[in-house]
């Protein structure tokens, strides 16, 4: 009896299992299955390009301002080096993920605006975070909004209106913690395009990822309900989730096989100095737990990249910055500038952190060069690295239901 011929789904499952097996070994044991590759062989394997991921942590000690200011520097350097004075962050990344204040930044920078491009520039995003910092870090709902959270809800509604996950320009992943399931839940553009009941208004998504109390978020068709609290509780550093999404999403990232096919920028939001918090109240303890979880993700991800750690992965994080209180006299932006001037820190799993010779800003400048090289490679390549799905409905007309939305393929 002849052997059965493997079907396409069977082959895809086999490939996925192999990829996750390699990634798991790299996370746990630092396994490197490419150690015997020569530079020529590596160039051949990587000629199809790299998927570019931007990951932004939850609030941290600077409530999103460190990440927002870093992105402003990213945008400035991208414009200068690319020769395009109107270039935006979304032009040079394929995937964005953000938790807490990082999720709001992801929404501002990657939701489609009236002209078809991203809604906010990096300057406008930084201004929004600074102006609304107190509102957004106290966003909550228990059926009746407090005065502060009501202002935050209005601010998000004013910015995003009726825009939904389907109205984002690139792949977007924003986590929260679902009290009903007792597990993290990730709002995903890919799911919104593929499945009924998975499209959510961006205002609700951003509200959920910063919520400090449970709030109900409904899909646009009312089929799915999430009892959400902030993404910082369950996934303060969403980098690993984004990598997993890319490696497992063969429809949109068909040629990405492992970490060697990725360029990842992970932005922290300030590493607190805890020596003055000996008599800790619950909020500081939650921050400690969130920072610890974010560091562990950074260490595991950094180790998983193996020999590509310094070329394909960058982590920008303040190192030992004192918490900022309401009576802090120094300007928050000055504190953030100090963080960017610090020596960059690299994490090694189970071995802690080490300072490197470059500052955070110098690392940003070097990594921007890699992003531009990838963009130039794509401009001269006929083989698409990314196949993102897009809606065909008119994004400026009122939505009747998610069932009226279709999708097509376009290449990048």
Reported as a single tens digit per residue, the pLDDT across 257-275 is 999 999 999 998 765 443 3
Stated as kind and residue range, the H or E segment containing 360 is helix 360-379
Stated as kind and residue range, the H or E segment containing 121 is none
Residue 272 φ/ψ, nearest 5 degrees: -70, 150
Determine contact, residues 148/138, Cβ cutoff 8 Å: yes
Q: How far is CA 251 from the centre of its chain?
A: 20
> How many whole angstroms separate alpha carbon 311 and alpha carbon 263?
8
Q: How confident is the model over 314-338, as a mean pLDDT? A: 66
Q: Is the pLDDT of residue 26 over 60?
A: no
Determine contact, residues 220/187, Cβ cutoff 8 Å: no
Q: Is the pLDDT of residue 51 over 60?
A: yes
For residue 260, the 8-state DSSP code is G
Of 238, 367, 234, nearest to 301 by C-alpha is 238
> How many whole angstroms separate alpha carbon 237 and alpha carbon 232?
8
Q: Taking all residues of the chain, what is their mean pLDDT, rounded to a whole number?
A: 77
> How many whole angstroms separate alpha carbon 211 and alpha carbon 205?
10
Q: Which residue has the tokens 């006929």?
A: 382
Q: Residue 394's pLDDT is what? A: 41
Q: Residue 125's pLDDT is what? A: 95
How does pLDDT run across 77-128, given as a tens digit for each residue? 999 999 999 999 999 999 999 999 999 999 999 999 988 899 999 999 999 9
Q: For residue 44, count CB atoms less than 10 angstroms from its CB and return exposed for 0-12, middle for 13-18, buried for 19 or more.
A: exposed
Q: Is the pLDDT of residue 230 over 60?
A: yes
At 312 the three-state DSSP class reads helix
Q: Is the pLDDT of residue 217 over 60?
A: yes
Residue 374 φ/ψ, nearest 5 degrees: -65, -40
pTM, 2 dp: 0.79
Determine contact, residues 252/190, Cβ cutoff 8 Å: yes
Q: Residue 253's pLDDT is what? A: 95
Determine contact, residues 144/169, Cβ cutoff 8 Å: no
SS (H, E, C) 253-274: CCCCCCHHHEEEEEECCCCEEC
Least confident of 69-83, 147-161, 249-263, 272-286: 272-286
């Amino acid at each position: 009896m002849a052997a059965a011929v493997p079907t396409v789904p069977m082959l895809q499952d086999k490939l996925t299992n192999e990829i996750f097996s390699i990634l798991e070994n790299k996370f746990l044991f630092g396994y490197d299955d490419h150690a015997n590759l020569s530079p020529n062989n590596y160039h051949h394997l990587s000629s199809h390009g790299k998927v570019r991921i931007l990951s932004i942590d939850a609030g941290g000690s600077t409530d999103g301002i460190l990440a927002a200011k870093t992105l402003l520097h990213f945008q400035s350097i991208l414009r200068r080096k690319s020769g395009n004075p109107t270039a935006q962050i979304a032009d040079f990344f394929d995937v964005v993920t953000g938790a807490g204040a990082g999720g709001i930044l992801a929404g501002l920078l990657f939701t489609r605006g009236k002209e078809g491009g991203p809604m906010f520039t990096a300057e406008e995003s930084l201004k929004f975070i600074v102006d609304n910092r107190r509102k957004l870090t106290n966003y909550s709902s228990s059926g009746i909004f407090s005065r502060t959270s009501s202002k935050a809800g209005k601010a998000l509604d004013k910015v995003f209106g009726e825009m939904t996950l389907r109205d984002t320009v690139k792949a977007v992943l924003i986590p929260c913690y679902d009290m009903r399931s007792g597990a993290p839940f990730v709002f995903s553009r890919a799911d919104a395009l593929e499945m009924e009941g998975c499209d959510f208004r961006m205002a609700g998504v951003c509200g959920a990822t910063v919520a400090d109390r449970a709030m109900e978020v409904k899909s646009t068709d009312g089929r799915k309900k999430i009892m959400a609290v902030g993404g910082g509780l369950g996934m303060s550093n969403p980098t690993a989730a984004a990598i997993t999404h890319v490696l497992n999403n063969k429809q949109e990232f068909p040629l990405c096989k492992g970490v060697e096919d990725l360029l990842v920028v992970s932005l922290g939001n300030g590493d607190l100095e805890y020596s003055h918090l000996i008599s800790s109240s619950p909020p500081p303890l939650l921050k400690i737990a969130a920072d610890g979880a974010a560091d562990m993700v950074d260490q595991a991800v950094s180790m998983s990249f193996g020999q590509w750690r310094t070329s394909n992965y960058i982590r920008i994080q303040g190192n030992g910055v004192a918490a900022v209180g309401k009576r802090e006299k120094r300007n928050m932006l000055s504190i953030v500038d100090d963080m960017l001037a610090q020596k960059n820190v690299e994490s090694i799993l189970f071995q802690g952190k080490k300072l490197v010779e470059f500052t955070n800003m110098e690392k940003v400048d070097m990594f921007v060069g890699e992003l531009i090289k990838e963009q130039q490679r794509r401009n001269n390549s006929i083989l698409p690295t990314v196949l993102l799905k897009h809606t065909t409905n008119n994004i400026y007309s009122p939505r009747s239901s998610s069932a009226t939305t279709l999708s097509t393929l376009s290449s990048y």
